[in-house]
Amino acid sequence: MAMIEGDKLPILASSRVLLRWLEHRDAAALFEIYCDDQVMRYWSSSPWTDPGAGLELIESIRRYFTEGTLYEWGVARRSDDKIIGTCTLAQVDPQNRRAEIGFILRQDHWGQGYMSEATRTLFTFAFEELGLHRVEADVDPRNKASIRLLESLGFQREGYLRERWIVGGEINDTVFYGLLRREWSASQ
């Protein structure tokens, strides 16, 4: 597996979005996303309440990037460069050439195809440039929109774990999905 060289992530472009390095100027946009109860409904943590959490997230993303264990891009509209979400390769495992996908999108951009476009761009990079063999996803089974997106990308359901997460006092199950490089290549 190739590692990303340099001091920040490369820009990945599609027709309507750019996947780009998150800057300190993006902290307020991140807060707008992560403070929304509906956006965070199926997330593995509660909605943010501290406006400073955006800067903290950016700093933690940079630390993990330096370690080579997490690559998190901001999803920006090409029209105005405003951050509307993020796409992440987490738990990057170079030996086994695998990573977990994570994504989040502002509620006012749901259903418009932005995340489909962003994840397709990311997977092309992950499989073709980084040489990943496998990408995994961990999804709340009630999150029908994310499941539809994963399945449209070719992910296969591989398992169901009962009561895996406790978020805000609520116990939740999870569904595991996987996508292999050969499956991605065959679908392109």
Instruction: Write out the DSSP string of 138-162.
Output: EE-TT-HHHHHHHHHTT-EEEEEEE
How many structural domains comprise the chain? 1
In a domain, 64, yes or no: yes
Strands 134-139 and 98-105: parallel
With contact defined as beta carbons under 8 Å apart, do 148 and 110 qualify?
Answer: no
Give the pair of three-digit tokens for residue 2: 């190739």
- The CATH number of the domain where 161 resides is what? 3.40.630.30
pLDDT digits (tens, 9 = 90+) for 112-166: 999 999 999 999 999 999 999 999 999 999 999 999 999 999 999 999 999 998 9
Confidence of residue 78 (pLDDT cuts 50, 70, 90): very high
Whole-model pTM? 0.94
Confidence of residue 2 (pLDDT cuts 50, 70, 90): confident
Strands 134-139 and 156-167: unpaired
With contact defined as beta carbons under 8 Å apart, do 88 and 30 qualify?
Answer: no
Q: Is the pLDDT of residue 106 over 90?
A: yes
pLDDT digits (tens, 9 = 90+) for 33-70: 999 999 999 888 899 999 999 999 999 999 999 999 99
Q: Is the pLDDT of residue 187 over 90?
A: no
Close Cβ partners of 35 (under 8 Å, ≥ 6 residues apart): 47, 48, 49
In a domain, 1, yes or no: no
In a domain, 5, yes or no: no
In a domain, 3, yes or no: no
In a domain, 7, yes or no: no
In a domain, 107, yes or no: yes
Q: Is the pLDDT of residue 167 over 90?
A: no
Amino acid at 173: D
Query: Where in the sequence is the domain holding 59, given as residue range(s)?
Result: 12-187
CA-based nearest residue to 185, from 136, 119, 123, 137: 123
In a domain, 6, yes or no: no
- 108: burial class by Cβ within 10 Å (0-12, 13-18, 19+)? exposed
Mean of pLDDT values over 16-21 = 98
pLDDT at 77: 97
Mean pLDDT computed over every residue of the chain: 95
In a domain, 128, yes or no: yes
